[in-house]
Each structure stands twice: as C-alpha cells, then as structure tokens.
Amino acid sequence: DFDHVVEALLNTPADLDSLRPDSVLEDSWIKEAVIRSGMKFRWAKLGESRERPNRDAQRRPPADPALLVSRPPVVTIMGHVDHGKTTLLDSLRKSQLVATEAGGITQHIGAFLVQLPTGERITFLDTPGHAAFSSMRARGAHATDIVVLVVAADDGVMNQTVESIQHAKNAKVPIIVAVNKCDKPQADPQRVKQELLAHGVVCEEFGGDVQAIHISALKGDNLQALAEATVALAEVLELKADPGGPVEAVLIESRTDKGKGPVTTVIVQRGMLRRGCVLVAGRCWAKVRFLFDENGCAVLEAAPSAVVQVVGWKELPSAGETVLEVESEQRAREVVEWRSHQAEQHKLLGEQSAIELKQQRHLEEYRREREPLAHLSWRQRRAALYRADKIRFSMRPSERTESDEPGLPLVIKGDVDGSVKTLLNILDGYDAQDECRLDVIHFGVGDVSENDVNMAATFGGSVYGFNVAASRGVTQLAARRGVALQLHRVIYQLVEQLRHELSSKLPPQR
Ligand code: GDP
C-alpha cells in the first residue's frame, strides 16, 4: 500500500527498484511517495528516457585500409611561456612557406597551412598552450599528430616544458624539439638537449629518435629545416584518412563574427567537406553556406587535414566538439533534439540542486553500504559515509570532519558550457597530481552570483570565473565574507593563479 512505499523510500531506498516499474503501483503513487519522502527523484522522466530510441549521430567505424589516402600532419606548438611559441607561429605564418595569396593577409582562424617548395603540406594549430590541447583530448578529439616543443636555448627546460612533454606522451603524440632563440649569445642548445634527456626526450645525437632543430623564431632562421623535419616525421607516421563518405571533423575555434554570424574553424578528419553539407556539432547544426581558408578566400571543398572556416551554423557550437555530417536537415534537427533531450535528462539527474545531488549520491552509496548502516539515521549514515571517504561534498561545513589533508574548495563559473568543461578537465588533471586536493563544490555557466559567493564562504573556498563578470553587489559580498574572487579572461592565467593559491595551501615543510 501507499504507506509501504513511503516507508520503503525512507528506510531502504534501494527497494524502490523492486517496486518499479511493473508492480501494482502506479507511477503517480511513486511520484507522490517520492515527494512525501522529500526525495526529488524524477522517476517519471527517467522512465521516459528509457523508452526513447537513440537518435544520435556517431562517428563511423574505421574505413577499409584500401580506401585510405595520405593526408598532411596536424601540428600543435607547445612549450614554456616566453620561449617563443607565438613568435614561431607568427614567423611561420609570415614566411614564404605559408600558402598565402600574393599580398594577402592571413586571418586568424585557429590554424593555418604551410606548404614546402616540394609540395608537402603541414597544418599548424595556432592556439598554443595546453588548455586547447587537453580540452580537446578530454573530449576524445585527437586533432594533433605531432607536437613541436619549443624550448628557449637561453633558458632551458622549465616546468611547462615538462608538462608539455607529459601531455604529448599521454596522448601518444610524437615530439619534435625546436631549440629556439639560438641567435642569442648566451644560447646553449646542447644544454637543452641534455636536460631533455632527464624527461625521456632523447634527441638523435644521444641515440634517440627525437629530432631537434636549432632555430630563431625571431629572425626566421632554420624554419624550413623545422618544416622538413615535420614532414619527415609525418612520413614515418604514415598519416592517412578516408576521403569518402560523410564528413567527420573536429571543431577547433568558434566565435560570432559581426558580418558572418556564428563561424567555426574545423579540421576535416574524414570525407570531403563541401558547401551544402549538413553538419551537427554538440547541440548545434549547420547547413554549410560558405567555406573559407585562412586567407579569407572562399573554397569549394576541404579534404582531410584541411582547416576551414564554416559559415551556416544556426547556433554557435563550442570548441572541441566533434563535427559530423548527416544526410538531411531533418536528420540534423532530430539529432540536436535527441541530444538536447539527453542533456535535459542529464541535468535532471546529474546537475540537480545541491540538495538533490547530495541525496542522489547518498542513495548510490547507501546501496553499497546498506547492511552495516541500516540501523543509523539519515544524518548518521551520511556522516559515516563521509568519514569512510565514500562521499565527498555532502556534508554541511559544520559536519565536515577535520582532516590533515590540505584542500582548496572551489566554485567554478564560465561563460559557456565549453569553458566550464575545459576548466573542470584541467582541474581534474591537477587534482590527480597534486598534494593539495581541489574540492569543486559548485560549478556552472553564468556570471558569479551571490549564491556562488555564499557557497564559497561557507566552505572557506574561492570563486574562479572564466570570461564572466560579477556585479558590484556580488563583489562587495565577496569582500565582506572574505571570499577570493578570481575573474580571468585567459585560461592560462586562471590556472596559474589557481596553482599559486594551491601552493600557498601546501604544508610549510614542502
Ligand atoms: P610564448 O609565450 O612562448 O608565446 O613566447 P613569445 O613568442 O611571446 O616570445 C617571448 C619573447 O621572446 C618575445 O619578446 C620574443 O620577441 C622573444 N623571442 C621569441 N623567439 C625569439 C628568438 O628566436 N630569438 C630571440 N632573441 N628572442 C625571441
């Protein structure tokens, strides 16, 4: 009977499964019981999602090797700050190597193509830094074939050099070392290569297989050698792609252009991208109206490894998304509708209000811990689970157990879904490595709110915002409650600041 359901919910939530879905109980009864028990699970919605057929679009299985053709390598430039990444990209872009129309000005679209006199081509991504690289990788977009690691010959291997090596290794992407600033009198390229040894990067002269090219990005010295080394490595990698069938691409940049509306830059990975193609990316779709190369010239089609700007999006998708061609506009709408529905479900289930989240976590944990904890009250169970390290943020601050482990509670806000995800991905990486634990107590899209500040204050944490603002009232509240409010427009700076704050929390003996 009804009371039995309520009883079951309050005492042994796990029994709910046995009550649903085909027992004598009506859905409405369960809902009512759920409401009465104070647990806001959306069973009815859950039920719906189970019945919906999957209408998503997906990447195709790998092509028959016989159909594959060679494609140019896609290269990312990485390295320590000030070692010359931007200068190198600029000189590559300006050098005659770049396939620019005579007198044309290359536009920044997130990547550009270099063509050697011998005809070989290389695509350089010009969003330097780890953020772009890791966020794409975290979304499963393997957009890079080769990493050019820039190390300044007067400075040597620094911590971001080591991080870059780590990123490349994790992604199993081979490295070419560009020993930069060789024009400087104090340059010591030999030392650089020696230092790299300690990080498992063994250059050819030490018997390894990593090519190291001495360059001056500033003067443009030896850039051709660097390009040739890249082509040589690409040949060994036997990079191939399937030029037929529906397009698959990865989105590397997206923005709203005053004249063109939503524009994105994509790297084609499979198929031929043409005008008129219908594409989906995340929860957005496009009928391709124009394709432009980095010279701003309209192109008719783009083959694998080509980089093009795509105009024709109905809404702006985020960088890092996979772009897939579908057969019709009708199909595109269907995919977007399905994905939005999925996201909605996800939101209902995963990103409910903090309280619901706590309850849901508790329920999951409780199912596992049910036996030994059966006699405890809700609150006692929660405390027990927290102490056993089974749940992380489900305690009110007053209930938090003191721990020796230093931690930094964080509230993360970003301008769009993509930037929040990127930040969380980056933080995930730090969390695993560092002694000081990052507790992301809340995250979301939008300007910093009073609620964010209050939440941070309760936990003694900080608020980090990327590309978002805070009203005067919110700023004042933060000052009053002693909450550090960090608003940044460059991910790299945000992460630096965070790292700084983290290291200040580490125990003094370190
Ligand atoms: P990034 O932070 O890695 O992008 O570094 P930048 O490209 O901004 O370069 C940092 C500084 O180093 C700038 O002042 C550049 O002019 C300088 N620089 C870059 N490459 C060279 C080089 O080959 N030789 C010399 N002498 N200076 C360079």
pLDDT band at 20 (very low <50, low <70, confident <90, very high): very low
Looking at per-residue pLDDT, the higher value among 462 and 29 belongs to 462
Q: What is the pLDDT of residue 40?
A: 39
Would you list the DSSP string of 115-184?
A: E-TTS-EEEEE---SHHHHHHHHHTT----SEEEEEEETTT---HHHHHHHHHHHHTT--EEEEEE-TTS
Would you list the DSSP string of 214-268?
A: E-BTTTTBTHHHHHHHHHHHHHHHT-EE--SSS-EEEEEEEEEETTTEEEEEEEE
d(CA 504, CA 510): 10
CB atoms near residue 202 (< 10 Å) = 14
Say if residues 260 and 292 touch (Cβ distance below 8 Å). Answer: no
* SS3 (DSSP) at 395: coil
Phi, psi of 481 (to 5 degrees): -90, 5
Q: How many helices (H) and strands (E) does the chain have?
A: 16, 20
Give the position, in ligand 1's atom list, of the atom nearest the Cα of 90.
7
Q: Give, using CA atoms, the residue closest to atom 20 of ligand 1.
A: 84
CA of 178 to the centre of ligand 1 (A): 13
Peptide bond into 21 cis (omega under 30): yes
Give Cα 257 to chain centroid, integer Å.
23
Q: What is the pLDDT of residue 415?
A: 86
Would you list the DSSP string of 293-310?
A: -TTS-B-SEE-TT-EEEE
Give the position, in ligand 1's atom list, of the atom nearest the Cα of 217.
23
Give the position, in ligand 1's atom list, of the atom nearest the Cα of 81.
2
Q: Give, using CA atoms, the residue closest to atom 19 of ligand 1.
A: 84
Is 216 near ligand 1, meaning CB less than 6 Å away? Answer: yes
High-pLDDT (> 90) share of the chain, % = 33
Burial bucket for residue 421 (CB in 10 Å: 0-12, 13-18, 19+): middle
Q: What is the pLDDT of residue 407?
A: 67
- The dihedral over CA atoms of 408, 411, 415, 419, expressed in degrees to the nearest 10, equals 40
Is 214 near ligand 1, meaning CB less than 6 Å away? Answer: no
How high does pLDDT run on average in the chain?
76
For residue range 348-405, list pLDDT tens digits in order. 554 444 445 555 555 555 444 444 444 444 344 444 544 554 444 333 333 334 444 5
Looking at per-residue pLDDT, the higher value among 39 and 96 belongs to 96
Instruction: List Cα–Cα distances, 97 to 75, 245, 333, in angstroms.
Output: 15, 32, 42
Q: Give, using CA atoms, the residue closest to atom 10 of ligand 1.
A: 82
For residue range 455-472, list pLDDT tens digits in order. 788 777 899 999 999 999
Residues 6+ positions from 198 with CB-CB distance below 8 Å: 157
Q: Give the relative orientation of helices 27-36 and 2-11 as an angle to the nearest 10 degrees.
A: 50
d(CA 203, CA 212): 6
* SS3 (DSSP) at 369: helix
CA of 215 to the centre of ligand 1 (A): 12
Is 83 near ligand 1, meaning CB less than 6 Å away? Answer: yes
d(CA 400, CA 382): 11
CA of 151 to the centre of ligand 1 (A): 10
Which H or E element spans position 486? strand 485-488
Among 87, 155, 215, 223, the mutation site with the greatest number of ligand 1 atoms within 8 A of its Cβ is 87
Q: What is the pLDDT of residue 353?
A: 47
Q: What is the pLDDT of residue 402?
A: 41
Looking at the predicted structure, is the pLDDT value of residue 223 above 80?
A: yes
Residues 6+ positions from 490 with CB-CB distance below 8 Å: none
Is 77 near ligand 1, meaning CB less than 6 Å away? Answer: no
d(CA 401, CA 399): 6
CA of 358 to the centre of ligand 1 (A): 49
Is 142 near ligand 1, meaning CB less than 6 Å away? Answer: no
* Token pair belonging to 304: 């694998």
Give the position, in ligand 1's atom list, of the atom nearest the Cα of 221.
23
59-63, 225-229, 372-376: least confidently modelled range: 372-376
Give the position, in ligand 1's atom list, of the atom nearest the Cα of 89.
7
For residue range 105-137, list pLDDT tens digits in order. 556 777 888 888 888 889 988 764 445 555 555
CA of 83 to the centre of ligand 1 (A): 6
Q: What is the pLDDT of residue 172?
A: 84
CA of 87 to the centre of ligand 1 (A): 6
Is 158 near ligand 1, meaning CB less than 6 Å away? Answer: no
Looking at per-residue pLDDT, the higher value among 207 and 443 belongs to 207
Is 86 near ligand 1, meaning CB less than 6 Å away? Answer: yes
Q: What is the pLDDT of residue 378?
A: 39
* Token pair belonging to 164: 């870059």
Would you list the DSSP string of 42-81?
A: -HHHHHHHHHSPP----PPPPPPGGG-EE---EEEEEEST
Q: What is the pLDDT of residue 455?
A: 77
Give the position, in ligand 1's atom list, of the atom nearest the Cα of 83.
3
CB atoms near residue 324 (< 10 Å) = 23
Q: What is the pLDDT of residue 2?
A: 55
24-28, 247-251, 295-299, 454-458: least confidently modelled range: 24-28
Q: Give, using CA atoms, the residue closest to atom 9 of ligand 1.
A: 84
Give the position, in ligand 1's atom list, of the atom nearest the Cα of 128.
4
Cα 432-434-435 angle, rounded to 5 deg: 115
Looking at per-residue pLDDT, the higher value among 67 and 355 belongs to 67
pLDDT band at 490 (very low <50, low <70, confident <90, very high): confident
CA of 319 to the centre of ligand 1 (A): 27
Among 155, 184, 218, the mutation site with the greatest number of ligand 1 atoms within 8 A of its Cβ is 218
**407-414: strand order across its sheet:** 437-445, 407-414, 462-466, 485-488
* SS3 (DSSP) at 441: strand
Give Cα 117 to chain centroid, integer Å.
36
Stretch 148-160: mean pLDDT: 94
Is 217 near ligand 1, meaning CB less than 6 Å away? Answer: yes
Q: Give, using CA atoms, the residue closest to atom 14 of ligand 1.
A: 82
* SS3 (DSSP) at 368: helix
d(CA 311, CA 349): 35
CA of 378 to the centre of ligand 1 (A): 60
Looking at the predicted structure, is the pLDDT value of residue 412 above 90?
A: no
Which H or E element spans position 425? helix 417-433
d(CA 416, CA 72): 32
d(CA 475, CA 68): 56
Stretch 328-333: mean pLDDT: 94
CA of 150 to the centre of ligand 1 (A): 10
pTM tops 0.80, yes or no = no
CA of 222 to the centre of ligand 1 (A): 15
Among 81, 82, 492, the mutation site with the greatest number of ligand 1 atoms within 8 A of its Cβ is 82
